[in-house]
Structures are given as C-alpha cells and as structure tokens.
Amino acid sequence: MRETWHFINTKSNDPYYNMAVDEALMNFVSRGEIDPVIRFYTWNPATLSIGYFQKLTKEIDIEKVKEKGYGLVRRATGGRGVLHDKELTYSVIVPESHPNMPKTVTEAYRVISEGLLEGFKTLGFDAYFSIPKTKEARDKLKTPRSSVCFDAPSWYELVVEDRKIAGSAQTRQKGVILQHGSILQDIDVDELFDMFIYRNDRLKDKMKAAFIDKAVAINDLSDRHITLEEMETAFYEGFKKGLDIEYKPLIFTEAQLNEIKEIEEKYKSEEWTYRK
C-alpha cells in the first residue's frame, strides 16, 4: 500500500499569503493535525523573494522593485533572490522523523526532488541531478558570488542540458522539513537583474551572462509552449511517482485559516522584511 499524503493547490495569491501558508503547514504537520503535504501555488503580483539570511538593503534595489510593481517578501528558507513570475511554485512539508527522509539536508533534498525529476520527465525533458564532482566545485557552493538564485546548480539541483531548471530551498523547524522552490515556465533575465545591486555595470553584465549560461526555463528548452496547467498536471503526477504516494485533498479548517491570517501579518511587517 502506498502512503497517502495531503495535496493542495492554493493557486494565485499575494506573497504574504503564500509564505504564511507554507509556515502554517509546517505548524499543522508539527502538531500532527495533517499528514505530509504537497502544495502548488503561483504569485500575484509577480514577486521578488529573498532568502532568510540575505541583506536586503545591500543586495536589492528596493526602489526598482517598487517601480516595477513587484511584490517583495523574505522567505523563511535560505538561499538567494528569486523572481516569482511565470512559474509553478511547489512546497513539500514532511516530518523529519518520516522513515523515508534521510537525516542530512542534502540527502533529504535528493529524495524530495525525485518528484521534480519525474515531473520534468513527464513533460518530455531529459532531466537529471547535478552533482558537483570536484572539490573546487563543491567549495564554490559554499561561497556563492551572486545574490541571484538559479545562477549555479548546487547539490542535487535539477538540470537539463547542463542548465539549472528548478531552484529549491529547505528549512527544518519544529521537527518538520519544508522544501519549496520554483519551476520556471519562462524568465525575463533583464527584469531579474535590474533589481539587484552591483558594484558596476560591467560586473552586472558578467553575472547576467553567467546566469544565462547556467539557468533556463522550461519554454526555453521546449519546441512548443508548455502551459501552467500542463506543468501542474505533470508535477502532480511527478511527486506521486517520485515519492511513491497517493493523494487526498487538504481543506483548511476555520481555525487553520485564522492561523494563516495571523502569520501573514509577520510577512507583511517591515521588521521581518528588513531584518538584519
């Protein structure tokens, strides 16, 4: 018998709601209110999310973000800046004690990402896991040069034709693993790089060129336009196969909806967004 996990697609919402739901799901799983859960969602407006440890005012051109009409939110997970626009975002929330979850972050990342791998295969891509082979490559991962996510594959990142096609981040709190990430449908590299601060234009151009060389969106690789609905179907099936699970729908209770609303206030606050 396959294990049954919850599944929910919360569709398009603002950045504060999106981050609040991920945090709330960790609480629900931690308290044993729900089983492990897979969630899909999208963003309205398009939003720049920054990693928990990023220095916002040093790395991000906040005025440019506002000028473009993008949302801005700090994630509970680490990693670098991501522009959530034309993409499907996923999250997986599962107890650390789950028998199929390895103890190390890297190995758990690989297990969860099997769902992504199967989703890309369903869409017809020859995707595989990136594994840094040399000590130099492994050392580079410890000191990323750029504030922009997707500029280099890390351990067990999903790549197609040697270019990173999905970016994910993981945190562990209250005995629970949260892994969430972006599956890019399309990307506007100029828009993305406009929102980051660089010492000079030459460095910005160099980093942008490196990014284009190392990262790619689904529709840059496909000979036809792949819709968001096709992505939702493919990755819904992908996680089911990759994690060897069945699904049951998750419907929030009134108490759970109230908890999400309370957590939203944290993500809306300047204290959280501008934290040092």
- Which residues are CB-neighbours of 129 under 8 A, at least 6 positions away? 110, 113, 117, 156, 157, 158, 159
**257 Cβ partners below 8 Å, 6+ apart?**
none
The answer to whether 79 and 204 are in contact (CB under 8 A) is no
Amino acid at 214: K
CA dist 174 and 78 (Å) reads 17
How many CB atoms are located within 10 Å of the residue 11 CB? 10
- Rounded Cα distance between 153 and 129, Å, is 9
How far apart CA 168 and CA 79 sit, in angstroms, is: 8
Which residues does the annotation mark as catalytic?
Answer: 149
